[in-house]
Structure 1
């Protein structure tokens, strides 16, 4: 798995520059703080450069939520579900019907659990010079919890926006007050036909008209859980394993890779997660002496498994070699990818 040190530094630096969520145990406040955490994760994913870097940033941010204690204890154990059917760790909260020409690449980042969530991302191509004015356009789509209403960040005020498909909508960031070429261009909340609220965040839209663009994205979006097809099948994991983070990244900065899949599996305890990275076999990820990688090439895909401490978790039968054997490549053609990703044993 590739972890670019400079990109990771930039990603974590971006996180550090965001306002820290206030402390406390109030449940409603926690939900709001969780959404702020998502925004920091969005910044990390956008600036980090690769899915692997964004995965590290997401895991770092979510450690207090996902890895809450030893197996069978604490909050993490309450989220473990014994599954009886094959399942997909990458379920998006919604899908785009339209994206502007400068953000055509659809990405997905999933981090289940309280204070976290899932997002779809329309993104432009990476630019090598890294200057602010040339960062890729990004349009994030996320969905609020059932029964939750829009809650602006500190210092922002909700402003009535034109209705979206005859349902109410609000601006959190007034597009008229922001420079769309520098940082956050606009935030739009809109109510879906089911009654749940969705949120669109836009960054670096360049010369695109912000209000018109976000309203077009909102009107054409489908809000509702959507399983994302992936290029592998994985067997051999326990029926109650969880997937703290799952990500499909397009494009990547890895040479020879137009896309990248990163999955993390855990039984809910700290430091017991195993990462699975899938790339086209043409990819040339950089070496990293701190990550003990185990890889294979199969049916046109490069598949790698690893842990931060270099030791296979206790729940992975046969260790890294066994896990690799239990991962079946479905090839490069997305028409052959599946939503039955994890086979229940």
Structure 2
């Protein structure tokens, strides 16, 4: 998280506060998009005792590496060149940090949110339980914060390519913590030779006996390379006045999809915005936000929605309103193998 958002709190404490707090009474679409991108992190921290987070119908940005269907399969050694990472101009969602090594039995996903520090890459086991999450940080999580989930010590470890590496500890060199969902988790803090701080979260580590070895090997493979994030829908005939917002979301976790992109309706930074959401049908409720309207339909296993601030902007009315924009969206379904970086066509 950025220091100006939470200047005196640890990341864990700040996220607990976010999870427990009520939403503002009036929200614009861009704010809804940003809140959705925080939802995965809030869910994870809330599971540590911070309360129940109310999730929007979107989630943290996650997509797949190009070149191998829906993702890079396990056992991949570090890429020899940047040709493994492709940026598609038809896709507004680009991630900047990657794991060059993917442990056997895992698939690499990733994403990016330019408004805040967020997960850049997630790796999931084929079962969808064991996970590694890479998060660029402006500074490491503070040691010695209050609360049962706040780390109290640094447990040093050697990771090639870093100047500092340690597990977050909770007394007597204990690095494993309950994830609040019947599993266990651990967090690895790294300072790369470039000076960049990175945190790698290991979730449901009990699923894999070699979790520590694989997490450290993946941590040693980090590269700063751009690549496009495949999305579970296409949008046809986007008007020139609709400017895609940078960033976006596409998550497939435990068999469920959550995704979104946003548009600014005009060149002005203060122009109104609209959002397109998609999630596995039946998996989420439409978020009830005062001042924001949702128009939705079920298609190909996904529920696709257009969100728009009330009153409806004139630029949106010109294309048939929210329903007209929704008619331009084609659902690609719940299987990431069918997703695309050719989002706008």
TM-score grouping bracket, smaller chain normalisation: 0.5 to 0.7
SS in 1 for 2:134: strand
When residues 57 and 303 of structure 1 are mapped into structure 2, their CA distance, relative to the original with a 3 A threshold, is closer
Report if the CA contact (8 A) 2:57-2:277 is conserved. no
Report if the CA contact (8 A) 2:230-2:339 is conserved. yes
Question: Is residue 168 of structure 2 the alignment partner of residue 170 of structure 1?
Answer: no
* Deviation for aligned residue 1:336: 5.0
Deviation string 1:282-326 (CA, Å, 9 cap, x unpaired) is x3355558474423455x353522336565444433211221232
Report if the CA contact (8 A) 2:259-2:279 is conserved. yes
Write the distance in 1 (CA, Å) between the matches of 2:287 and 2:39: 26
What's the counterpart of residue 120 of structure 2?
A: 119
Write the distance in 1 (CA, Å) between the matches of 2:203 and 2:40: 10
Q: TM-score, normalised by structure 2?
A: 0.56
SS in 2 for 1:226: strand
- 1:104-183 map, 5 Å: 104=106, 108-113=110-115, 115-123=116-124, 137-143=130-136, 151-155=140-144, 161-164=157-160, 166-171=161-166, 173-174=168-169, 177-183=173-179
Report if the CA contact (8 A) 2:102-2:108 is conserved. no
- 1:323-334 map, 5 Å: 323-330=325-332, 334=336
Report if the CA contact (8 A) 2:296-2:303 is conserved. yes
Structure 2 unmatched ranges of 5 or more: 1-12, 22-34, 48-52, 61-87, 145-151, 180-184
When residues 263 and 318 of structure 1 are mapped into structure 2, their CA distance, relative to the original with a 3 A threshold, is same
Write the distance in 2 (CA, Å) between the matches of 1:312 and 1:99: 47
SS in 1 for 2:213: helix
**Greater strand content:** 2
The one of 81, 95, 98 equivalent to 1:92 is 95
Deviation string 1:118-173 (CA, Å, 9 cap, x unpaired) is 4222357999xxxxxxxx654321335xxx7x545254776653132x55441162
Report if the CA contact (8 A) 2:274-2:306 is conserved. yes
Report if the CA contact (8 A) 1:139-1:200 is conserved. yes
- 1:14-25 map, 5 Å: 15-16=16-17
Write the distance in 2 (CA, Å) between the matches of 1:297 and 1:120: 29
Structure 1 unmatched ranges of 5 or more: 1-11, 21-36, 59-84, 128-135
* Deviation for aligned residue 1:228: 1.3
SS in 2 for 1:53: coil
SS in 2 for 1:162: coil
SS in 2 for 1:173: strand
Write the distance in 2 (CA, Å) between the matches of 1:186 and 1:118: 13
When residues 226 and 240 of structure 1 are mapped into structure 2, their CA distance, relative to the original with a 3 A threshold, is same
Report if the CA contact (8 A) 1:93-1:142 is conserved. no
What's the counterpart of residue 216 of structure 1?
A: 217
Report if the CA contact (8 A) 1:251-1:259 is conserved. yes
* Deviation for aligned residue 1:244: 6.2
**Greater helix content:** 1
SS in 2 for 1:15: helix
- Give the count of matched residue pairs: 264
SS in 1 for 2:188: strand
What's the counterpart of residue 8 of structure 2?
A: none
Write the distance in 2 (CA, Å) between the matches of 1:57 and 1:328: 20
- 1:64-75 map, 5 Å: none
Deviation string 1:210-236 (CA, Å, 9 cap, x unpaired) is 643421221345442221122322242
Write the distance in 1 (CA, Å) between the matches of 2:298 and 2:258: 14
Deviation string 1:164-210 (CA, Å, 9 cap, x unpaired) is 2x554411624872342424522231537x88554313345237566
* Deviation for aligned residue 1:86: 4.0
Instruction: Quote the RMSD (CA, aligned, Å).
Output: 4.8
Write the distance in 2 (CA, Å) between the matches of 1:18 and 1:93: 27
Deviation string 1:49-74 (CA, Å, 9 cap, x unpaired) is 9x99256788xxxxxxxxxxxxxxxx
What's the counterpart of residue 199 of structure 1?
A: 199
